Amino acid sequence: QVQLVESGGGLVQAGGSLRLSCAASGLTFSRYTMGWFRQAPGKEREFVTAISWSGGRTYYADSVKGRFTISRDNAKNTVYLQMNSLKPEDTAVYYCAASLRNGASGFRPNDYWGQGTQVTVSS
């Protein structure tokens, strides 16, 4: 079956960096648009960033532009999220998702989702 497994979360001070990874299995990874979403306590899940199947197109939420970078390695079936200049408001559970639709708005609840990894940014 399809599995998306996130890793790399943790506790970091404001201004610091983290790199999240999402390893995919059970699907033809190179066919999927991959995305990262996050959900903070008491808030709805929100879009963070996405990357096209080839890596040629990337999409970012305004709140993370210039600080976060998404990338993928189709040979390793893995998508990455490099997070720099972290802020306390970046604290959330970060989820990886895979969709056969294009673009940032193509993700649906019935697409493939990981279990999430906690990112906590202290002030």
DSSP 8-state code for residue 10: E
Residues 91/21, Cβ–Cβ less than 8 Å: no
User: pLDDT of 21-49, one tens digit each?
Assistant: 999 999 999 999 999 999 999 999 999 99
Q: pLDDT tens digits for the chain (123 residues)?
A: 999 999 999 999 999 999 999 999 999 999 999 999 999 999 999 999 999 999 999 999 999 999 999 999 999 999 999 999 999 999 999 999 999 999 888 899 989 999 999 999 999
Compute the distance between CA of residue 84 and CA of residue 42 in angstroms, rounded to an integer: 24
48 closest CA partner among 100, 88, 107, 3 = 107
Q: What are phi and psi of 101, to 5 degrees?
A: -85, 160
